Structure 1
Amino acid sequence: MGEDMKRQQASAAGGEGVGAGRAVDSAAQSTASTRESAAPPEAATQAAASAGQSESAQAEPPGGTAPPESAASRREWLSELEEQSKRRQQAFMDGIAAKLGRPRQLERPVQPRRGAPAFWREFQWSPEERAAKLREHFEAAGGKLAELPDLEAAGRFIAEQAREMKARRILRQDEAELARLGLEPALEPEGCEVRVWNEDGAGRESWLPRAAEADFGVVLADGAAAYTGSVCVRSAPHKGRSVSLLPTALFVVLPRERLATRLGELLLPLDEAGREAMPAGVHFISGPSRSADIENDLTIGVHGPGIVTILLIG
C-alpha cells in the first residue's frame, strides 16, 4: 500500500510538470501574439510595400517597360535603352575622373613617336653575322641549320635524312625552287612517296589528312630574321600552311638573300601591301614545337613539327 501511494504521488508530480510546461508555452505564444498585434501600423505598411517592390522588381523587364509589339516602337524602345546605357557609362567615367582629381581624356593623345625608333630601323648585321646569329638563335631553341651551296645539294641532304629516318611520305609546297630539289627521282624508286600540295586541285579538305600523315614537310621560306632566329612562311593556294604545321619533321629552304637582320624588315612589306594582299597565314617559325604545362614539363612536337631544319642556300 505504501508503494501504491508513492506511485500516485509520482504520477501527480509528473502531471504537474507537464502541465506547467504547457502553461509556459501557451503563455509565451500569447505574449508573442500580443506583441505582434501591438506593432505600429506603419511597420506593417512598410513591410507590405517592401514585399510588393520586391515582387515588381522581379517581374519588371529591363528598361522599366515591356518591349512594344510593333517593329517601329521596338526600335525606339531599343534606342532609348541604348541612350540610357550611354548615360550610365558617362556617369561612371565622370565618377572615376572626379576621384582621380583630373578632367576626362576625351581625345586621342598625340603620339610623338610611331613604330620602331630610328636607331633600330638602321641597325644591320653583315651577311656573315646574319648567318651566324640565325644559327645561334635557331639552334638555341632546338632547331637545326645546315648551310648548303645550292638547291641540288639541299635535295641530296633531305634525301639522306629521309633514308636515315625511314620516312615514307614527303609533302612539299608547289614552288619551282622546291621542284629543283629532285626529291621525286631520288626517293620514289626507294618506296618513298613525294607529293606536291594540292597538285590534283582537290582543295584543302582533301589535302589536310595527307599533310597530317606526312613524315617530312618541305617549304620555301619567304624570309628570315637573324635577330630572333625566325623564318617566315606565308600561305597561298599552292603552298598550304599545313605543309609546315602538320608533318613530323620540317625542312625550310631559305635562300641566303632572303635573310634579314630584324623582324621588322619582314613585317614592313606586309604592312605596305595592305589588307587586301594579306595572305591567310603568316607563320614565324623559331624552332620545333615546344609545349609546357603548369608544372613546366616540356614536350616537343605536340602542336607542330618536332624536328625543324633550316637549309640556308648560297
Structure 2
Amino acid sequence: MGDSHQNWLFEMEVESRSKQTRFINGISAKLRRPMVTEPPRHPYRGAPDFWNDYEWDEGERIKRFTANFLSVGGHVQRLANMEEARRFIADKATELSARYVLRYNEPELASLDLEGALPNARVSVWNEDPAQYWKARAAEADIGVILADYAAAYTGSITVLSSKNKGRSVSLLPTVLMAIIPIDRLKTRLGEIMVHFDEGGRESLPAGIHFISGPSRSADIENDLTIGVHGPGVVYALIVG
C-alpha cells in the first residue's frame, strides 16, 4: 500500500511537471525566444550598506514612530517609567469602564500590579491556569496588555513574539490593546529587528512573529474601511523609559 501510494505521487509529479513545461514552452514559442532554464543571477543580497548604517538618535526614533503610528489611527503615550504606565492603563481602564483585562505572563508586567490598580476589573494572566481555554478568555477581554519585543520607528511597527507565556491572542482578540515598548527596544529600521531571527536560526524561531502597525483596518472591494475586524480597534503604544 505504501509503495503504490508513493508511486502514484511520483507519477502525478512527473505529469504535473510535464504540463508545466508544455505550458511555458507554448508561451516561449509565442514570444519567439527560448524558455529560461537557469535562475537569474542576483549579485546583491539584502539591504545595501548605506541602509544598514542608517540610524536615528533616540529623540528622532520616538518622533518618527509617533508620527507613523498616529497616521494609521493608533495612539502613542510617552511615559517615564513603569509606574506611569501602570497609572495610564488604570486611568484608561476606568475611562473605558473595562471589566476584564488580560496580560502576558511576564515579570515586567507582573510588576505593574494591575490587580491592585484595577479594583473594579478582573485581571487574568495568560496561561496561568492551564485548564482555562485562553483563546476564549482573550476574546472576552476589554483590554489586552503586552510587552513589545521590538519596535521599528521607520515603519511605526511593534514586533511581538509568541510563546507559552505570551499568547498571540492577547494582542489579537481584546477590544483595546496596550503595548508597552521599553525605549531600548525601539529601533530605527525593521532590519535591526529581523537580524535577530536570522542569527538565531530556524530552530529558535517562535511559533508566531507579529508586526502591529496600529488598529486593525480592513476594506472590501469598494474600499469601505472598517476598523477592528481582525484585531483590536483601539491600540495604545506606551513608550516607556
TM-score by length of 1: 0.71
The structure, 1 or 2, with the larger RCO (C-alpha pairs under 8 Å, 6+ apart) is 2
What letter corresponds to residue 128 of structure 2 in structure 1? E
Alpha-carbon distance in structure 1 between the residues aligned to 2:113 and 2:160: 21
Residue aligning to 1:114: 45
Alpha-carbon distance in structure 2 between the residues aligned to 1:176 and 1:144: 25
What letter corresponds to residue 182 of structure 1 in structure 2? D
Residue aligning to 2:95: 164
| 1:159 shift after superposition | 0.5
The answer to whether structure 1 residue 221 and structure 2 residue 152 are counterparts is: no
Alpha-carbon distance in structure 2 between the residues aligned to 1:104 and 1:278: 38
Residue aligning to 1:260: 187
SS of the residue aligned with 1:310? strand
TM-score by length of 2: 0.91
SS of the residue aligned with 2:178? strand
What letter corresponds to residue 217 of structure 2 in structure 1? R
Q: Which of the numbers 96, 121, 128 marks the counterpart of 1:192?
A: 121
Question: Counting strand residues as a fraction of each chain, which structure ranks higher?
Answer: 2
Q: Which of the numbers 175, 180, 191 marks the counterpart of 2:111?
A: 180
Alpha-carbon distance in structure 2 between the residues aligned to 1:77 and 1:302: 43
Give aligned-pair identity as a percent: 56
| 1:99 shift after superposition | 3.7
Change (3 A) 1:84 1:281: closer
CA contact (8 A) 1:152 1:182 kept: no
Alpha-carbon distance in structure 1 between the residues aligned to 2:5 and 2:188: 59
Change (3 A) 1:104 1:257: same
Q: Which of the numbers 53, 78, 82 marks the counterpart of 1:147?
A: 78
| 1:88 shift after superposition | 5.3
The answer to whether structure 1 residue 102 and structure 2 residue 33 are counterparts is: yes
Change (3 A) 1:101 1:260: same
What letter corresponds to residue 195 of structure 1 in structure 2? S
Q: Between Structure 1 and Structure 2, how many residues are aligned?
A: 241
| 1:90 shift after superposition | 3.8
Q: Deviation string for 1:231-290 (max 9, x for gaps)?
A: 001100011000000001000010000001111111121122222211111111110111
| 1:194 shift after superposition | 0.6
Alpha-carbon distance in structure 2 between the residues aligned to 1:97 and 1:109: 17
Residue aligning to 1:135: 66
SS of the residue aligned with 1:97? helix
The more displaced of 250-259 and 100-109 is: 100-109
What letter corresponds to residue 168 of structure 1 in structure 2? R
SS of the residue aligned with 2:235? strand
Change (3 A) 1:135 1:78: closer
Change (3 A) 1:312 1:90: closer
Q: Which entry has the higher C-alpha Rg, 1 or 2? A: 1
Change (3 A) 1:94 1:134: same
Alpha-carbon distance in structure 2 between the residues aligned to 1:198 and 1:71: 41
- For the aligned residue pairs, the C-alpha RMSD in angstroms reads 2.4
Q: Deviation string for 1:121-161 (max 9, x for gaps)?
A: 11111111000000000001100111111111101110011
What letter corresponds to residue 196 of structure 1 in structure 2? V
Unaligned runs of 5+ in 2: none
SS of the residue aligned with 1:152? helix
